[in-house]
Amino acid sequence: MRFEASPDEIVATAGDVLVLPVHPAEPLSPLPPVTAEIGAATGVDLRALVARRGLRRAGDHCWVPSAGGIACPDLLLVCVGGPDATDVTDVADLREAAMRCARLLDQPVVVCALDRVVTPGWDPTRVVVEAMAIGLYRFDRYRSADTGPGVERVVLPGSDPDVVHTAAVIGAATNFARDLTNTPAADLTPAAFAGICAEKASELGLGYRELGVAELEEGGFGGILGVGAGSANPPVLVCLESGDPAAPATALVGKGITFDSGGLTLKGSLDAIVTMKDDMGGAAAVLAALTAVRALGVDTHLRVYLPCAENALGPRSQRPGDVLRHRGGRTCEVVNPDAEGRLVLADALAYAREATPARIVDVATLTGSTGLGPDIWGIMGSSQSLVDALLRAGTATGDPGWQLPLWEGYRKNLRSEVADLRNHQADMSKFWNHKAIWAGLYLSEFVADTPWAHLDIAATVFRNRADDVWAAGATGTATRALIEFLRTERV
């Protein structure tokens, strides 16, 4: 599927369906100029049709067979919310309308004019293209029945080609992260994930290094080794680099647990374990953001660290009470093998810090206890300016986050009687409500004074059921925020 701008007049742009914006029926608002133009060309009273069909909220729609006069045989009217006393369309309404509209489409060529509205402070073309790319997403590679080609091209007459290209790259990167996260763990083992990273490195001219078990043992990566010990699929740490090695670097770290059974503290229900292929969503978002930034030619120095392991049950699985030694020498009492994400991230963060980056950002499906629901990721960190930059980026792309405190009063909970740290409490009934903060404090022990931010995306990475906006499965959460951050918030 591709998006393209066209210099042709909208009435002359050929396709299978023309998608037009309209405003709510109550109160009855004037049509956007582009829709009024098509109404005049076809001889159809589209304003009366909007009123008769009762289109009110963003995404409400109706199909209209064209009466001729234009190059498309059918119209799709989509309510984008918007004006009563003004001609301004709310960007959140426009984004939802584009995503809901995309879920309806399966025609090969779609001509889209949803971006012909007024959204002060926002580029409506970028909003529409990113949202439609996400809405058109399918994950059907495992289906034996032919689901059809779906939408092959989306044409936007009169739109800026550069904006369309940028937004299409961002949308494609988000869907790449979704593809990775949706892939069954039997097919996306740590080695398979590393292989995909190597392919991307070759394709995009990135620096690439892979640390297997021997190198991890030699380097003292006890967290990654301990988590991966119970699996037949050995762990690996993938390292990628882009940009001028002499320039200040941003380090990105992504949690890559390709499946999380909970280890010897096996997850307690089918609901808790059935989606655990998504536990590498942080690594997927980081890799996808890296590929997009490279494809867009963003001049920035990035170092990427993706600790990949499978937390499985096996005769060599780490046990509650085991003590492991992290990269750099600090020891951890493993109270709970199901709190494995912080163990692999701690090694990767310590390793990233050794290269003295200007800042570190990690992204992880860490706890699911941010309390922010399925739409908003949580963030905390040691640098307020870095946290603010990531929050701005998320807001700008409809991929929002919310800050949680790194409350120092909880740091005492990390203390162990037998090691430097412990990864969990034995009695979590007293600590359930602040698990996300406690996990963030654990990670903070490994970044020293480097400016650092941590995104907890566990609650936003996957949707169990489809709705009229999202397909079931992975969301690609944090990918767009990372891309925007790297494009606009330079070191």
Task: Cite the DSSP H helix spans in 24-160.
Answer: 33-42, 46-53, 91-102, 124-135
Alpha carbons 479 and 471: distance in angstroms, whole number:
17
380-432 pLDDT per residue, tens: 999 999 999 999 999 999 999 999 999 999 999 999 999 999 999 877 556 55
In the predicted model, is pLDDT for residue 146 greater than 80? Answer: no
Sign of the Cα pseudo-torsion (438, 443, 448, 453, in order):
negative
**pLDDT tens track for 431-469:** 557 899 999 999 999 999 999 999 999 999 999 999 889
Average pLDDT over all residues of the chain: 95
What percentage of residues in the chain have a pLDDT greater than 90? Answer: 90
Can you tell me which residue has the tokens 């980026």? 393
Measure the CA–CA gap between 115 and 158, rounded to whole angstroms. 10
- The single residue listed with the structure tokens 């979590």 is 428
Whether residue 328 contacts residue 337, with contact meaning beta carbons closer than 8 Å, is answered with: no
Structure tokens at 33: 């100029």
CA atoms of 280 and 363, how far apart (whole Å): 10
Give residue 87's pLDDT. 60
Residue 85: the pLDDT is 47
Structure tokens at 476: 């690609």
pLDDT at residue 46, as a whole number: 94
What is the C-alpha to C-alpha distance for residues 33 and 116, in angstroms, rounded to an integer? 8
Helix (H, G, I), strand (E, B) or coil at 212: coil
**The pair of three-digit structure tokens given for residue 109, joined into one six-digit string:** 């060529």
Mean pLDDT of 304-327: 98
Describe the chain by its helix, strand, coil percentages, rounded to 5.
35, 20, 45
Confidence bin at 30 (pLDDT 50/70/90): confident
Q: Report the half-sphere exposure of 66 (CA within 13 A, side-chain side).
A: 22
What is the C-alpha separation between 45 and 38, in angstroms, rounded? 10
Task: Read off the pLDDT of residues 242-251 as tens digits, 9 standing for 90 and up.
Answer: 999 999 999 9
Q: How confident is the model over 131-156, as a mean pLDDT? A: 92
Paired with 362 in beta bridges are 253, 454
64-121 per-position pLDDT tens digit: 997 789 999 999 999 998 765 456 789 999 999 999 999 999 999 999 999 999 999 9
Q: Is the bond leading into 248 cis (omega within 30 degrees of zero)?
A: no
Catalytic residues: 267, 342
Cα torsion 41, 43, 45, 50: sign: negative
For residue 8, the model assigns a pLDDT of 94
Which backbone phi and psi does 344 adopt, to 5 degrees?
A: -75, -35
Question: How far apart are the C-alpha atoms of 175 and 196, rounded to whole Å?
Answer: 15
CB neighbour burial string for 190-225, b if at least 16 within 10 angstroms, e if fewer: bebbbebbbebbeeeebebebbeeeebeeebbbbbb
Instruction: Please determine, for residue 147, whether its predicted confidence score (pLDDT) is greater than 80.
Output: no
pLDDT, residue 26, reads 76
Q: Where are the alpha helices (DSSP H) in 150-189?
A: 161-182
* pLDDT value at residue 86: 55
Could you give all domains of the chain from N- to C-terminal order, each with its CATH number?
Answer: 2-151 (3.40.220.10), 173-488 (3.40.630.10)
**Contacts for 374-377: CB closer than 8 Å, 24+ residues apart:** 374/459, 374/460, 374/463, 375/400, 375/460, 376/400, 376/401, 376/402, 376/460, 377/401, 377/402, 377/455, 377/456, 377/457, 377/459, 377/460, 377/477, 377/478, 377/481
User: What is the distance between the alpha carbons of residues 179 and 296, in angstroms, rounded to a whole number?
Assistant: 20
For the stretch 210-224, pLDDT in tens is 999 999 999 999 999
Are β-strands 462-463 and 377-381 bridged in parallel, bridged antiparallel, or unpaired?
A: unpaired
In this structure, what token pair is assigned to residue 146?
């032919």
